Amino acid sequence: MKTIHLEFFFDLICPWCFIGLNRLLRIEQELLQELYLDIELKSYLLYPEIPIEGVPKEAFAKKTKPGMAKSLKFEAEEEGISINYRLIKKIPRSIEPHRLFQLIKNKKLKINMANEIMRSYFTDGTNIGNQDELIQSAQNIGINQSVIEEFLSTENGQGQIEIDRKFAKENFISQMPSINIDQKIIMPGLQSADTWKSYLRRAKDLKQSN
């Protein structure tokens, strides 16, 4: 069975990324008999200028395109998740939650951590810029206490965030989420499951022809 390496570029405060990660995990299960997806998460802070205390949700209202809420709801329902913007009071600075999941070494646990952070934010309206809330999310999925202590006592993980963002910019990756397949094909933005499957199968065929 062929292994396809995927780099999933995303921001934890991006609703399309929440949908996209869950779509990718669904595709992973649907393609189990065809290929193995080695998924690696890559941080990309969409708004690094957000202050540490976050900003009111209303400050981002002008960035919302007409029909976006309806489209988000439809896409989220396709993946069995919900987005409740009415519960969100502020847009947090996402560097701390990104830093937390960067400290996790196991790829599956890292994915679970990212998904849990986004679920708590988009579904429950949790302030994921708050360290106490992040620790609760980590405990919810059984993250080792040593990781939590490293997160609280150091700035570890921040360097990798900067490395990931620099790589993305150098490779003209700016639309979130984006998927880099085997360092050869870049799929920008949220796309349908069928489109992503088509790209993945094409990548598998390229490997078989080499």
Percent of the chain surpassing pLDDT 90: 75
**What are the pLDDT digits (tens) for 133-182?**
999 999 999 999 999 999 999 999 999 999 999 999 999 998 999 999 99
Can you give the pLDDT at residue 159? 93
pTM of this structure:
0.93
Confidence bin at 207 (pLDDT 50/70/90): confident
Residue 89 has pLDDT above 70, yes or no: yes
Give dist(CA 74, CA 169) in Å, integer: 30
Nearest to 34 by CA among 210, 197, 209: 197
- Backbone angles phi and psi of 199, in degrees to 5: -65, -40
Structural domains present in the chain: 2-209 (3.40.30.10)
CB neighbours of residue 112 within 10 Å: 19
